[in-house]
Structure 1
């Protein structure tokens, strides 16, 4: 996710509209379906709503229908277990602990405006695992480095049959090898966690979600300029959305030591601020912003079959809405450099994963990582969340100093690249 973008990136819809005018074929990568009649009528309805200024209740009804139509118009990805058996979806209310995997694809979704290098297949350059405790009071977001060498199990071939297992490959090859289902199987094998829900988000999705909340405030410890992504931000506080938000998340040459590990901690600066922004009264009390987020997700995330249900999506949102930001922990999967990539730091990784499997919360003792630093503020520290079953399962697990991360309540600044 670090190749040079073309100035003036278009949305996927704009790019495809341009292709149609030239009579060129449209690259769909076998995932996205053409706009349905219902979606076209939905676009017309949006304009009608603006003209006649219908009631808030009518707008809410349209929003639900529009998101429902979008979700159901897309082909979902069937998740399977290690034996290749389809995992049944968890529909409706979400009880107990659950795990969600989100892969960030570097493909650009077929949008030629990104001018990406020719590649044999899309790669999951970002892989994040969200684990929510049984009482829905603790949430842990684990980011797995793209260059992490892991075994890839036998994965189902979308065209039939199965791909052979591989003993050691970089994690970001799993998406191109066997699609989202293969990435899920790979991460399940590595972590020992059953993954209930999964999705793939592409570049346009990042742009639209940052636009939906009206921008995400981030702190930068010094000027960052990265010609590889087109990022230019000044030291201090910056409100990022659209293409700049995407460039900020993609940059690695502009932060820390220029590595993917620096990029992870830089992304956590953005994600922790995004959580605070979404959970703010300004966003939650604004139906237009809430609908914008739901619509951006529905438009730009390829979902697993287990997530292709609006009731389930709503239930997951409800499970997360009351989690205290201080109890949302972003953590980098424990690793160390080895050869041309990174390898799991086994003892620390097992400590983290066993805590999540046992429904215990985790606390950090190390720094935030190579690409960020903690901000000293005069603000009062947030009150600790009331202990729940995540803590009742046993005392919180204290992670050692060589495990990096932060909570969503921590205000951190991105650290510019330094030789």
Structure 2
């Protein structure tokens, strides 16, 4: 370790200096991020002025964090995070602070989590699974702490999952998904419309395939058949549309979103993105300034560590799935009901960190890309003996028996599957 880095560590841990720092009331999270920002500026760009300013600019826009139940206060080092990861991403339909682009910002609207996705990274970082929960899925809602800290909201036996954000905030949505899946979720983030726009701009756009034209007057989404690179408002419209894809339902929207997400993963794993400091700064700023993060996630070390755990996972081991469901009603409301047996198989496999084999379709909002490149097969040259020498140690390839075959009621795709959005004609 260099002398300057040893000195920085002494400053950070010297108790006398810490006492002096308390003379002014400061946000400890923002202070920690500034230290990380300065360090990363040196590591990534050897002290480049523009990059250093960009990182300081990131931490200046950090939003207040949300505390979840039972959080571990330990922050990982800037390296691939140790062990497994469970992270909940919530997309809010709130117009608050979003300007006039999505309707009258002064009009009172309910706050709904119309997008709820759980990401699980296996303990050995060899696979990842993203499960989307339909917004109209009827689920039990446990007791949730009130936002003002004055007590708890009562539990409810059956409500649509998209009501949890308005009921008790991000922490309530996390508690609901934990009760539904049996998983502990230490990381969570809420993103609104402007956040989606900022993130899509930060990665330079995402290429999507459209098999049949999409026309949706509700979200102003109009795309001809073919390939489109979407970013900014166009990306947001594509992710929001449901009337324009599949059967016009939220279930069709989920499979349409998975077309986008699969392509996004392929983009993020490309060398162009991972080696471009400008894009990395842009992604960090977009997340910090446009997303409400849980306390454990609201740390640049943690965000980088989670990303590093994802970057080397093979595309075929990154699955995007829809929580198993069937149309039905509860309490006189129409929606979708959970298929408990299939859900139990899915989350038992996730808890055991098993690789997954998808047998269901990609969903009503997408189809397999007919122009997808064929899988390349590696051939052994005719004059090469494939048998290794007797004294050479070899590791047997993973067996297909290790993968759990999911029931066909669970729809989805992997990041290696090339799919196209299916317009609602």
Task: Give me the TM-score of the superposition, normalised by structure 2.
Answer: 0.79
SS in 1 for 2:139: strand
Gaps spanning 5+ residues in structure 1: where?
Answer: 1-32, 37-53, 81-85
Pairing of 1:140-219 with structure 2 (within 5 A): 140-159=129-148, 160-219=150-209
How far has the Cα of 1:116 moved from its partner? 5.7
Equivalents in 2 of 1:381, 1:326: separation in Å?
Answer: 12
Shift of 1:297: 0.9
Q: Is the 8 A contact 1:326 1:382 kept in 2?
A: no
Structure 1 CA distance, aligned partners of 2:157 and 2:304?
38
Check the 8 A contact 1:129/1:142 in 2, yes or no. yes
Aligned counterparts, 1:190-339, within 5 A:
190-339=180-329
User: 1:409 is matched with which residue: 398, 409, 416?
Assistant: 416
Q: How far has the Cα of 1:59 moved from its partner?
A: 3.2
Larger Rg over CA atoms: 2
1:95 shift after superposition: 1.1
Distance 2:317 2:377 in 1: 10
1:99 to 86, 94, 114: 86
Q: Give the paired residue count.
A: 358
The residue number in structure 2 matching 1:66 is: 57
RMSD: 2.6
Query: Once the 2 structures are TM-superposed, how far is the Cα of residue 67 of structure 1 from its aligned partner?
Result: 2.4
1:362 to 356, 363, 371: 356
Q: CA deviation at 1:111?
A: 2.1
1:135 to 89, 113, 124: 124
**What is the SS of the residue equivalent to 2:283?**
helix
Separation in 2, partners of 1:137, 1:67: 30
**Equivalent in the alignment of 2:21:** none
Looking at structure 1, the residues matched to 294 and 345 of structure 2 have their Cα atoms a distance apart, in angstroms, of 29
SS in 2 for 1:126: strand
Partner of 1:110, secondary structure, is: coil
Instruction: Check conservation: 1:382, 1:409, Cα contact below 8 A.
Output: no
Q: TM-score, normalised by structure 1?
A: 0.80
- Pairing 1:396–2:403 present: yes
What displacement does 1:285 show?
A: 2.0
Of 71, 78, 82, 1:87 maps to 71
Query: Separation in 1 of the partners of 2:348 and 2:309?
Result: 22
- Give how far 1:153 is off: 0.3
Give runs of ≥4 in structure 1 deviating > 6 Å: none
**Is residue 203–residue 279 contact of structure 2 (8 Å, CA) maintained in 1?**
yes
Deviation per residue, 1:217-240 (Å, 9 max, x gap): 111012111110011111100111
